[in-house]
Chain A
């Protein structure tokens, strides 16, 4: 363990967090000790019966000095607070915005395991292999209660909620095995909902991916589901192609959809991101694309979280650009 009992520093953001932590702990500890030293000094000097001068012996001119002291101990902390806030917010925002070249990985939490899937279709339970130096974005959801994906060595934590996607990204900087903890209480075996993040050299990781290749990648699996659930009956997937082979229904084409702004029937515009695609599958009446009738059936209760993710990866694969912010 390093200073302050910190765990190893294994992500790009961990170093930024630690600098901030040392600075904030340093200043708060110094101020705390200064307060304690003052209390102890006063406690000794002004104990009953000591010879120290008392207020009634001191000229009343000190009223102005008092006001100055009060102003100082209000404004100086305020300035420090604003500085700490701004620094903390900067790193917080950095943590929230993944770089555009990040690889997307998918996390489905359930009581009390972590299910992880690579775009190539490799599936893992309670273990995640990543390459050192490669930015990774996790798209996470839960099948039941709220969990929290916590990797102390990365100084990162993000709650994982049922019914929506939350994101977190990191670039690992050290190879090795690092704790993955569930940090949001989730029932009986919450404390056993642990795993490992295994950071490998890029070439080792490539070998690992090769050795664990599934039958097909997530997009290919999604394509199979796309037919099995009948999506292809209505939605086109090729640019400028006819709607689905048996097109009896008028439905938006999914080619190039991901990342694009979508005008809605109510006049607003949303971005076709993971959230939009997920909601469109489960709550199709919520955001109806402009020019289309709200006739798509909901798949809520008929489709698993992993399957939705595979469908999304498939729909993403129909776009040239990944269409990320920035």
Chain B
């Protein structure tokens, strides 16, 4: 404790939080060789490794989506063959779900920020953390191998018995890829849980934790509990496919609904793996730019836990027309409404956080507000799908496609980008062009709506999903959607350009460019290898934005 500094104590920290003493080398300067990166055990460098990997996969998955949208501009299959189309949407789903969305916020921002936010020097198991990334790369290699060998056509859902007996594609390679990458998720989750339990700075009680850390904690619990079920299920698919042992195929004495129960037991909570961290990011950003503590902080923390727990009890709402019993369907519908409640409360609380704020609109805030808008639409349409009789008409149509893209892309990806923009100065030590970033955020918001809103109408009109060719009356809405996708693609490419540019030409970032309150802002940008010169002590609740912290004027130079 003698080496501890008190947060805000002017002796060691400067006016705006820079270290007044000669700062140690940043984590980026700890080594410049490839080897220094590939053998690093620094959570911040591993976060960068993940960020580069998932960015690569985001654009591979995005390329598949681009081809899908071009194909769907006309009712006939005139760009690619039916089999190719089926492989495209399968790879789009597999890559985006397991190689981008699931690791996105936890493995990059979470890896980078959890130790910083709790005042720790690293995660509890740094070697395991590096191993997680290598496991991710191994899983990704299997998946890429499947693509090179000719692809897979089962859909990301691998429904049996199509996946176990009828598909002639490289199913086992992809199963292996997803199986392996699951261990990376489990180990990351385990690492976060142990870290958050054991390595919090002095004074950092549970109810002083930033909501981002709460969200990572709940997400980690889901990762650890749900992913093994997926792994087991994929093994069973492989066993039936390779060994002809009847598990899911009725021709062999199996039960195809068993597959769906097991698959959604993982895959519904997986939605919360994607969305809870996004909620955490948005809570940080909204509080900072509204200059207000998060409204109902405890309720927000409890809501995160409630979502994580209830999320395990609603998998059957994917199966209202599958042939599961009437009673099962009814119970799953009711439970689905219950899980929607904490999500609704979170939206109300973010809105109320703006109340009496002193709001500014830099790029991260625009992304965060975009998240709130798109997540709200996605959540409301989720309620529509939870209504049993409406789901009968809408399930397996474009309505469902639109709904989960609003949650997972409009929601989770907007929040991920918001988080990248918010913590970019901390991670890279550079400032990007706020003007371009705000433009991209607005373009993404409108491009996203232009792409996916027409798909709600397509679903109501009755267009089934995973259709290579479709009835001509659906063309107008499909053309609108494909047109919107052009804006969306531009919106995703722009940050790649201006963020890369900032690495070369961006101004140096101060330690706390947003005048934010988290511990991560109380060390240099970029932080030194050991994160803090001295372990910080926490003396109050998070989000102490009111009354405004010292230096009421926001340090904004260079960000405009």
Contacts and interface: CB of A to CB of B under 8 A. Distances in A.
Given A152-B461, A157-B395, 6 more contacts: A21-B393, A43-B361, A48-B360, A89-B330, A190-B467, A191-B77
Contacts of A38: 351
A55 to B, nearest CB: 4
B461 A155 contact: no
Interface stretch (B15-23, B217-225, B333-341, B411-419): B333-341
Given A35-B351, A145-B166, A188-B83, A84 B337 contact: yes
A24 B390 CA distance: 9
Contacts of B384: 21, 24-25, 28
Given A39-B354, A159-B323, A88 B462 contact: no
Contact of A4 (B322, B460, B466): B460
B293 to A, nearest CB: 9
B392 interface: yes
Nearest to A87: B387
B468 interface: yes
Interface in B333-367: 333-334, 337-338, 340-341, 344-345, 347-348, 351-352, 354-361
Contacts of B322: 159, 161
B514 to A, nearest CB: 13
A46 B356 contact: yes
Contacts of A94: 389
Interface in B369-422: 369, 372-373, 376-377, 380-381, 383-384, 386-393, 395-397
A285 B525 CA distance: 72
6 contacts: A17-B389, A21-B460, A24-B387, A42-B357, A148-B321, A159-B321
A85 B251 contact: no
A319 interface: no
Contacts of B347: 35
Given A39-B369, A56-B546, A84-B387, A46 B256 contact: no
A42 B290 CA distance: 10
Contacts of B320: 92
B383 A28 contact: yes
Interface in A84-115: 84-85, 87-96, 111
Interface in A226-240: none
Contact of A35 (B376, B388, B546): B376
Contacts of A82: 337
Nearest to A7: B462
Contact of B337 (A85, A96, A166, A186): A85
B389 A88 contact: yes
Contact of B393 (A53, A155, A163, A179): A155
A156 B393 contact: yes
B541 to A, nearest CB: 15
Interface stretch (A70-78, A119-127, A204-212, A287-295): A70-78
Interface of A: 1, 4-7, 13, 16-17, 20-21, 24-25, 28-29, 31-32, 35-36, 38-39, 42-43, 46-49, 52-56, 58, 66, 69-70, 73-74, 77-78, 81-82, 84-85, 87-96, 111, 144-146, 148, 150, 152-153, 155-159, 161-164, 166, 179, 181-192, 194
Contacts of A163: 250-251, 255-256
Given A1-B461, A4-B457, A155 B341 contact: no
Contacts of A52: 356
Contact of A20 (B161, B256, B354, B390): B390
**Which of B391, B458, B460: most chain A Cβ within 10 A?**
B460
A179 B472 CA distance: 12
Contacts of B351: 35, 38-39, 42
B23 to A, nearest CB: 31
Contacts of A159: 321-323
Interface in B460-488: 460-462, 464-471, 473, 477
Contacts of B334: 85
A142 B527 CA distance: 60
Contacts of B546: 55-56
B389 A95 contact: yes
Contacts of A187: 86, 153, 162, 166-167
B359 A46 contact: yes
A146 B392 contact: no
- SS class, residues of chain A in contact with chain B: helix
Contact of A43 (B161, B256, B354): B354
B280 interface: no
B464 A39 contact: no
B239 interface: no
Contact of A81 (B341, B396, B397, B462): B341
Nearest to A32: B380
Contact of B333 (A70, A88, A164): A88
B159 interface: yes
A70 B153 CA distance: 47
B24 interface: no
A319 to B, nearest CB: 25
A55 B546 CA distance: 8
B83 A182 contact: no
Contact of B340 (A16, A81, A186): A81
Contact of B462 (A47, A181, A185): A181
Interface in B227-252: 249-251
A152 B462 contact: yes
Given A77-B341, A157-B321, A46 B357 contact: yes
A131 to B, nearest CB: 23
B389 A16 contact: yes
B386 to A, nearest CB: 7
B257 interface: yes
B292 interface: yes
A111 B290 CA distance: 56
Given A4-B457, A32-B377, A39-B369, A92 B462 contact: no
B389 A48 contact: no
Nearest to A159: B322
Nearest to B388: A92
Nearest to A91: B389
B393 A152 contact: yes
A73 B167 CA distance: 48
A138 to B, nearest CB: 13
A157 B341 contact: no
A161 B397 contact: no
A246 B527 CA distance: 91
Contacts of A16: 389
A4 B466 CA distance: 22
Interface in B312-326: 320-323, 326
Contact of A179 (B326, B460, B462): B462
A39 B155 CA distance: 38
B520 to A, nearest CB: 23
Nearest to B81: A188
Nearest to A141: B250
B251 A185 contact: no
Contacts of B344: 73, 77
A20 to B, nearest CB: 6
Closest 9 CB pairs of A and B: A163-B250, A152-B462, A91-B389, A88-B387, A92-B388, A81-B337, A42-B354, A191-B467, A55-B356
Given A21-B390, A58-B356, A148-B396, A70 B337 contact: no
B326 to A, nearest CB: 5
A161 B257 contact: yes
